[in-house]
Amino acid sequence: MGRQNVPRDQWLELGAECPHCGERVTEEMVYSWRPVPDDPKLLLLWCPDCGDRVEINHV
């Protein structure tokens, strides 16, 4: 599992990279928003390519 610090605007525009396999993970792959989708400081995703869990920490 990897955690990345990504600015929210960049994440919404480009997505982020899975630290395990390099696959692009996007908003459609989010399974948990904390605390809420409107202001998520921490996103939890599954990478569809390798099945790894990815955490995106908005800065």
| pLDDT tens readout for residues 2-17 | 688 999 899 889 999 9
- Provide the percentage of residues in the chain whose pLDDT is more than 70: 97
Beta-strand relationship, 2-6 and 53-58 = parallel
Residue 29's pLDDT is 92
Residue 12's pLDDT is 87
pTM of the model: 0.77
Residue 1's pLDDT is 58
Q: Which domain holds residue 46?
A: 2-58
| Positive or negative torsion for Cα 46, 49, 52, 54 | negative
Give the count of domains, the chain.
Answer: 1
Tokens of 13: 């525009």
Please report how many Cα atoms fall inside a 13 Å half-sphere around the Cα of residue 15, on the Cβ side.
16
Long-range contacts of 41-44 (CB under 8 A, 24+ apart): 43/11
Q: Which helix (H) or strand (E) holds 13?
A: helix 8-14
38 pLDDT more than 90: no
- Mean pLDDT over residues 10-39, rounded? 90
